[in-house]
Structure 1
Amino acid sequence: MKNICIIKTGSTFKTMQADLNDFEDWITDKLSTARSRVFTVHVEVGEELPDLSLCDGVIVTGSHSMVTDEEQWSKKTASWLADTVDRQIPLLAICYGHQLLAKAMGGVSGYHNDGMEIGTVEIQTTPHAHEDALFRDFPESFMGHTIHSQTVMTLPEGAVRLAFNGHDSNHAFRIGERAWGVQFHPEFDEVIMNAYIEEVAQEKSWSRERITALQKETRKTAEATALLKRFEALICE
């Protein structure tokens, strides 16, 4: 039996939690592993990072924090992620986790020059994806849910770029043999994506026309969602 550790780097909006739960729930719901074998460590609120000997695989969540804020919990997590890569423990880092992994391994993460990417968007795979253990069965183009203002601006030395689109040149990468970062959200579904659009629209006072246009583009993201089970299968190999 394998143990999967979810490193929780933040929480969704409180208004969403009441009906939709939170990041770690969305991830766990899409795995086949028994819930008793999945444990969550909420590093943003000060919970201690686990001994890596307890982790057969690691998934890092997104966050409403920014990597460039250099918060103490985030810097500690970055060092822990570098150790995870060194030990070749399977690692999947999502959104904030993706940016933090890149930074931990010597890359550069920061605010995107073109601002926020939000909604269900088309993403392309690179030729390297066809030889990658996690992405090799992906089509040349797939849909993914996104919500981010920061991005991986420069990949770490030796990282392999796996996916991109017109907004973000580094939507997915691999560092080493068993660590991946993805900017898109494989744990989201259409309900969660639409709820995020509503929340962000309220914060930014977007027009109803803009909200409707974004939500009309929301759709299922079968390939992106399947990534979590693909990663789970790699842990069990």
Structure 2
Amino acid sequence: MSAFQRARSDEQRASRRQSILETAAVMLDEMPVSALSLNELSRRVGLAKSNVLRYFESREAVLLELLAHAATEFLAEVGEALQADVDPSTPAITRARDVAATLSASFAARPKLCELLSAQAGVLERNVSTEVVLKYKLGARDSLTGFAALLRQVLPEIQRDRSVQGAQMIIILVGALWTHSHPTPPVLAAYETDPSLAFMHQSFASALNGVIVTFLLGLTAQGSDSS
């Protein structure tokens, strides 16, 4: 490992932070969040762990920032997909199904985002300071309100407050279903041993599509009833 050279300028510090984030992102292509260690991240970046900690206070802080970046990218891309896939002239039930299909396919195409969402509350929001969490939560708030706005564009039947509720619940469902659809080897072996358990092991995209459809139809019905 080369000798540590302190970054002198804001540009150098930003470049080093970006290098750490990019290395962590590559590692997540190879392993789950649970296997990504600060020691290995430091080794791959080419810095001592103490030097990595100059830029991020913990492994979890690195991963929270990765999640924030991934969410921002997803929001920009899925907005375009929804506009292309959802015909505003069709009935609400058809639009809800089209929205669910687009969202489930978009999330399934981004395993890194789903993996991070599945670990957010139970792992990533621990071992971090209030300052780090506050920065993340403020960004997450903006992402959720942006996501809610996208939902209202294609499903105007949903009231504003319920669209925010819908956006938040979809994110929670993504994290939960990602975990359940990617069982550990012993659990997968149990499913294969007893066919009566097969229904418990649904594909991520299929399960997500089904629950989003159900949830969105409920929200559109509530909007109609209150109008």
Structure number with bigger Rg: 2
Q: Report which of the two has the higher share of strand.
A: 1
The two structures have a TM-score, normalised by structure 1, of 0.28
More helix by share: 2
TM-score, with length taken from structure 2: 0.28
